[in-house]
Amino acid sequence: MTNRNIIHLPDLKEIKETAALWLMRLDDGDASEKTMLEFREWYSESKHHQDATRKLSSLWGGMELLADLNDMAASDVSVATVKHDRWPIRRPITRRLFAGAIAASFAVMIGNVGYQSVVSKRPTFQQAYVTAIGEQETVKLPDGSSIILNTDTIVNVEFTKTARHIYLEQGEAYFEVAKDKTKPFSVKTEQGVVTAVGTAFNVRVLETKMDVVVTEGRVALSALQSVTEKQQAVQPQIIMEVTAGQVVAFAHRVENLAPITQIAIERELDWRDGVLAFKGESLEEVVSNIGRYTNLSIDITGEDLRLLPIGGYFEVGEIEALFDALKIMADIEVERLGENQVRLYRNQ
């Protein structure tokens, strides 16, 4: 096989993290013209770079880019031809991009979302936190709140004088919120917003929804709400409140709300102590959960085996211990198909 037969796929996770770092650099208020030009060069290198940047810009800043933003790198449109009032108010990055540091840059249109009147103010604290696959991290915030990041998670924190904003881009995190009624604590995902004053809760971002478990106090759930450039900013409409001992699946609306026992909460959140607990879940569910903590691809042969109920406690990252336990408990064999792929099966 020659090199021309090898296709190198882009590392989308690395691209997303790089886009997040670029936006953080451009938003610190001190970005130089050289930095702006370096960003423009990186942005124009790949459609994946552009997609990741636009997605993060929308999530963090609430701005909608024009459809022709894909052609930004090749555009010769002068920034002077774009009206100032068509640029988002939300973050310093948009004002500085407009200021002329990238003269042959890109055009954007305003697409403000709720909380604009708050987040348009300059941040007093801003930090991004990222965990790799299999990694966990606990961070303490300046207000006394804490966040425990689970595996493969990206969180951007932004405090202003009147609000505390957390942008959970992907993954799962547990939040213990310091009480401050003058500064609401909001966790924003693509599926909606969770707002609390002083409470504790867990948020996990899935492909099409987010799961919220409230362990203390109560939180308000609201949908992302866009407004046109001619409208004034509005607060996201609160859909419902969720109290301690409840779990909700949310995707722009409530999909499911149910009570959850303290024992079930502890089992659900055992990952904070580096442990994964299962009580009768199918092997398929167990493998799916374990897979979040490893780069190993695990295949299961046979429908009966996929549905086999599994119980027990397994340490995060101890994949070999899991295989040993499956062998002892259920006579499940492991076949090594490659460096990062295994197959689970039973001898007939």
- The rounded mean pLDDT for the chain is 77
- Does position 118 have pLDDT exceeding 50, yes or no? no
CA 132/CA 243 separation, integer angstroms: 31
Q: Round the CA-based radius of gyration of the chain to a whole number and report it.
A: 23
DSSP per-residue codes, 51-100? HHHHHHHHHHH-PEEPGGGGGGGG---BGGGS-GGGS-SS-HHHHHIIII
**Please, which pLDDT band fits residue 309 given cuts at 50, 70 and 90?**
very high
Burial of 294 (0-12, 13-18, 19+ CB in 10 A): middle
Residue 292, Cα to own-chain centre: how many angstroms? 14
Query: What would the pLDDT profile of 284-308 be if each residue is shown by its tens digit?
Result: 999 999 989 999 999 999 999 999 9
Question: Residue 338: CB partners within 8 Å, gap ≥ 6?
Answer: none
Tokens read off for 136: 């966990």
Tokens read off for 177: 């919120």
CA 12/CA 51 separation, integer angstroms: 10
DSSP per-residue codes, 112-176? -BTTHHHHTSPPSEEEEEE--TT--EEEE-TTS-EEEE-SS-EEEEEE-SS-EEEEEEEEEEEEE
**Please, which pLDDT band fits residue 236 given cuts at 50, 70 and 90?**
low
The DSSP code for 86 is G
- Does position 227 have pLDDT exceeding 60, yes or no? no
Which residue shows structure tokens 């211990």?
A: 321
The DSSP code for 253 is S
pLDDT of residue 156: 95
* Structural domains of the chain sorted by starting position, each given as residue range(s) with its CATH number in brackets: 7-111 (no CATH), 119-260 (2.60.120.1440), 274-345 (3.55.50.30)
- Does position 149 have pLDDT exceeding 50, yes or no? yes
Query: What would the pLDDT profile of 326-335 be if each residue is shown by its tens digit?
Result: 999 889 999 9
Choice among 34-38, 235-239, 320-324 with the minimum mean pLDDT: 235-239
CA 133/CA 115 separation, integer angstroms: 32
pLDDT of residue 275: 92
Answer yes or no: are the C-beta atoms of 93 and 106 closer than 8 Å. no
- Does position 103 have pLDDT exceeding 50, yes or no? no
Which residue shows structure tokens 């490893």?
A: 294
Distances (CA, A) of 263 to 148, 245, 258, 260: 20, 10, 15, 8
**Residues making up the chain, counted from first to last:** 348
Instruction: Count how many Cα atoms sit within 13 Å of the Cα of residue 16 in the half-sphere of its side chain.
Output: 18
Q: Which residue has the higher pLDDT, 79 or 311?
A: 311
CA 47/CA 225 separation, integer angstroms: 27
Strands 185-188 and 164-176: parallel
Amino acid at 286: V
**Please, which pLDDT band fits residue 27 given cuts at 50, 70 and 90?**
low
Nearest by Cα to 343 from 293, 332, 322, 307: 332
Strands 64-65 and 108-109: antiparallel
pLDDT over 90 percentage in the chain: 49
Burial of 168 (0-12, 13-18, 19+ CB in 10 A): buried
Tokens read off for 244: 């301690």
CA 330/CA 124 separation, integer angstroms: 55
Average pLDDT over residues 267-281: 92
